[in-house]
């Protein structure tokens, strides 16, 4: 029985992990295997997924989640050899990845037979300015999509959803556009009921030279952070950042981790789990356009947040 693949693409911080988490938490008896592609040296995506540890997790509802190892095809064949075999595979791509390259990889004849690419979902922040769709990376993420999910409608102004839908239409993208409130998309839209029917191979589009546009800077600390000082640091860094995410302990709430997210100019902080043993007290990944932020500048700004 072929195992259909759902590929989730979308720009940095668009809301891909939120959707994958929602799918895993609401699997309704489907055995879903999720492959998350982490950008940075610190393995944050996997930690944010409910109940994950060591990069691989089996959920109580029969779903599993793993990080993408060096090679996508090897990761997929490992998943396909598992017993019981997953019924669906969800691959979350990196926000800086051109999904055409992954689509091309998935056209491998063996993978296509055993795990055909069924649906490509592009997640887009509803507050994305229409001009951002002229960006080559955003365009290639949209171009391969069957479904575009608009995230963060709750944060966007009233007209934003309409404006971004018009901008997507203007790109002549044939995809269906749906709203995804806090990661919620009807799973019937994403997973075919009849898995016997293998989807047709796809044309991934022209191969573009890989563009090194972003760099990831990891920052860790063995000491907890001061929240007011962190706020100041993020204020300084914000104009230079494309994305940041991290986990850390604060002086204000010792013994507990906070989950920090920065996407589309917006920073959020939420309470996380208890601080696990043997990990640095602060682990944050910063993503910036190449040459915009040096490690020395980042370290200088972040060290000022450390207690004592």
What residues make contact with ligand GTP under the rule CB under 6 A? Answer: 10, 12-18, 45, 95, 151-152, 154-155, 181-183, 243, 261, 263, 268
What is the token pair recorded at 55? 């990069």
Q: How far is CA 95 from CA 25, 228, 229, 264, in A?
A: 22, 29, 29, 12
Burial of 28 (0-12, 13-18, 19+ CB in 10 A): exposed
Q: Which residue is nearest to ligand GTP (CB)?
A: 95
Minimum CB separation of residue 258 from ligand GTP in Å reads 12
Minimum CB separation of residue 182 from ligand GTP in Å reads 4
Question: Percentage helix, strand, coil, to 5, in the chain?
Answer: 30, 30, 45
- Measure CA 254 to chain center: 29
Strands 32-36 and 64-67: parallel
Nearest of 222, 240, 227, 217 to residue 305 by alpha carbon: 227
Minimum CB separation of residue 161 from ligand GTP in Å reads 12
Strands 282-289 and 214-221: antiparallel
Minimum CB separation of residue 36 from ligand GTP in Å reads 8
Minimum CB separation of residue 194 from ligand GTP in Å reads 29
The Cα 241–Cα 214 span in angstroms is: 10
The Cα 16–Cα 70 span in angstroms is: 21
What is the token pair recorded at 52? 């994950």
Minimum CB separation of residue 92 from ligand GTP in Å reads 7
Decide whether 199 or 272 has the Cβ nearer to ligand GTP: 272
What number of residues does the chain have?
308
Given a contact cutoff of 8 angstroms between Cβ atoms, the answer to whether 246 and 281 are in contact is no
Minimum CB separation of residue 72 from ligand GTP in Å reads 16
């Amino acid at each position: 029985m072929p195992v259909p693949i759902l590929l989730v693409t979308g720009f940095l911080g668009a809301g891909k992990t939120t959707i994958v988490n929602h799918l895993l938490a609401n699997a309704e008896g489907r055995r879903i295997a999720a492959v998350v592609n982490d950008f940075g040296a610190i393995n944050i995506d996997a930690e944010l997924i409910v109940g994950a540890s060591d990069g691989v997790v089996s959920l109580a509802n029969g779903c599993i989640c793993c990080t993408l190892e060096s090679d996508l095809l090897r990761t997929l064949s490992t998943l396909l050899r598992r017993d019981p075999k997953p019924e669906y595979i969800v691959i979350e791509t990196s926000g800086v990845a051109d999904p055409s390259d992954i689509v091309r990889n998935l056209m491998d004849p063996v993978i296509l037979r055993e795990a055909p690419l069924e649906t490509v979902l592009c997640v887009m922040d509803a507050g994305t300015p229409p001009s951002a769709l002229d960006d080559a990376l955003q365009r290639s993420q949209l171009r391969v999509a069957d479904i575009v999910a608009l995230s963060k409608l709750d944060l966007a102004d009233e007209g934003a959803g309409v404006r971004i839908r018009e901008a997507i239409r203007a790109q002549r993208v044939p995809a269906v556009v749906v709203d995804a409130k806090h990661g919620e998309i009807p799973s019937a839209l994403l997973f075919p009921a009849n898995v016997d029917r293998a989807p047709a191979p796809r044309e991934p589009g022209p191969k573009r030279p890989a563009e090194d546009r972003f760099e990831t800077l990891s920052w860790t600390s063995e000491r907890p952070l001061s929240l007011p000082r962190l706020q100041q640091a993020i204020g300084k860094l914000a104009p230079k950042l494309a994305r940041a995410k991290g986990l850390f302990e604060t002086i204000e709430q010792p013994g507990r981790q906070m989950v920090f997210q920065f996407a589309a100019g917006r920073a959020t902080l939420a309470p996380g789990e208890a601080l696990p043993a043997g990990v640095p007290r602060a682990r944050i990944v910063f993503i910036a356009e190449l040459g915009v932020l040096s490690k020395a500048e980042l370290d200088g700004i972040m060290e000022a947040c450390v207690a004592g």
